[in-house]
Amino acid sequence: MRSHKVAVIGGDGIGPEVVEAGCRVLDAIAADDGGFGFAFEHFDWGSDYYRKHGRMMPEDGLQQLEGFNAIYFGSVGDPNLPDDVTLWGLRLAICQGFDQYANVRPTRLLPGIGGPLRPDLGAQIDWVIVRENSEGEYAGVGGRAHRGLPIEVGMDVAVFTRAGVERIARFACDLARSRPRRHLTIVTKSNAQRHGMVFWDDICRTVIRDYPDVTVDWMLVDAMTQRMVLKPGTIDTVLATNLHADILSDLAAALAGSLGIGATANIDPSRKRPSMFEPIHGSAFDITGKGIANPLGAFWTATMMLDHLGETRAAERLMQAIETVTSRGDTLSPDLGGRATTAEVTDAVIGAITGANA
Ligand code: ATP
């Protein structure tokens, strides 16, 4: 039997609640499949760990994670700690340390979920956004000088490297090629940013020559926001820089109905190190501990992890189970207008898995 070693980092707020629910669902789909299983190991890293130890994860945290096949992550962020401490100390430390340079976010309006767009437009949303996850505007290069003086300065430098742009462009082309429509939209802002973004365009233009079967169009990032709202059906796979995709993904999440549903993967396509899978929502302290967090985002995330681990049949079946529950509409959490608890939504999805096999 295939055994997948998964590191589970619940993190802060509702993170531990939704990944626990996710582990239950993953165990259920594995048991039902019969061909594979999980060895979960739990890590208590995050803001509480920081309060005890002065760091978000141990110094050798990355070494501890190295041997795993995947990382299943909840969320990070604490109202009493600065975001740059929590984010850079854990989530980004893992993304950058393991060179998970491709951030992948699928977006669809699941059956039964009402988004803000007109229903005929909302139904057309079927996108995957590929975000460059290692450099660009969030490279962490910059500085502050002359603190407190009138001449004080703060700078963040956007870094684009040939190797960095080429590898993410290839990843996006490969992904576009694997989807039925084989269409890629490359997002840029080279009309205003005359160096890094023109360089981005040049390299993307070279890479797409190797993919004659993928149709490509180009969009300025500002115009892209309009297209996502007005003509969602013209978009399939999207490639954008770290900052641009960060913003576009939030718009995508809003158009898909709820923050509680979306999923993201931080992938090291070389597979030398574990990739990390997480729901898109944050730690949501306003509902932490109440047992009402929507676990569907963590479940969709789990389907991406299953896919990455080669369990594609199980991934499809879990996605079907999620969609069965959303379309039935009688077991939804409060953020989706229902009254179900995290545990009840989890039970409903597990029921749909076993029922689907009957
Ligand atoms: P962070 O600073 O970590 O991003 P946040 O609370 O500012 O956290 P989110 O956690 O992303 O931002 O979410 C904003 C709001 O959306 C929350 O206050 C919560 O009410 C709701 N929300 C987010 N995720 C979920 C979920 N899984 N289930 C139910 N509601 C959610």
Distance in Å, CA 78 to ligand 1 centroid: 12
Distance in Å, CA 14 to ligand 1 centroid: 8
Nearest to 206 by CA among 162, 151, 238, 249: 162
Distance in Å, CA 284 to ligand 1 centroid: 4
For residue 259, the model assigns a pLDDT of 86
Distance in Å, CA 123 to ligand 1 centroid: 24
Distance in Å, CA 160 to ligand 1 centroid: 32
Cα of 275 vs its chain's centroid, Å: 11
Interval 188-199: pLDDT, tens: 999 999 999 999
Residue identifier of the C-alpha nearest atom 20 of ligand 1: 284
Across the chain, mean pLDDT equals 96
DSSP 171-235: HHHHHHHHSTT-EEEEEE-TTT--SHHHHHHHHHHHHHTT-TTSEEEEEEHHHHHHHHHH-GGG-
Cα of 135 vs its chain's centroid, Å: 17
Ligand 1 atom closest to Cα of residue 295: 27
Residue identifier of the C-alpha nearest atom 25 of ligand 1: 260
Q: What is the pTM of this model?
A: 0.94
- Integer Cα distance of 300 and 319 in angstroms: 7
Low-confidence ranges of the chain (pLDDT < 50): 356-358
Dihedral sign of CA atoms 72, 77, 83, 89 in order = negative
For residue 1, the model assigns a pLDDT of 86
Ligand 1 atom closest to Cα of residue 285: 6
| Residues framing ligand 1 (Cβ under 6 A) | 14, 18, 75, 77, 259-260, 281-287, 293-294, 297, 333, 335
Helix or strand (DSSP H, E) at 326: helix 312-328
Residue identifier of the C-alpha nearest atom 1 of ligand 1: 282
Ligand 1 atom closest to Cα of residue 279: 27
Distance in Å, CA 289 to ligand 1 centroid: 13
* Cβ neighbours of 181 (radius 10 Å): 12
Nearest to 184 by CA among 223, 142, 147, 214: 214
For residue 358, the model assigns a pLDDT of 40
DSSP 40-65: EEEE--SHHHHHHHSSSS-TTHHHHH
Q: Which two tokens stand for residue 37?
A: 């299983």
Distance in Å, CA 115 to ligand 1 centroid: 17
Select from 259, 301, 344 the residue to mutate for testing ligand 1; criterion: most ligand atoms less than 8 Å from CB.
259
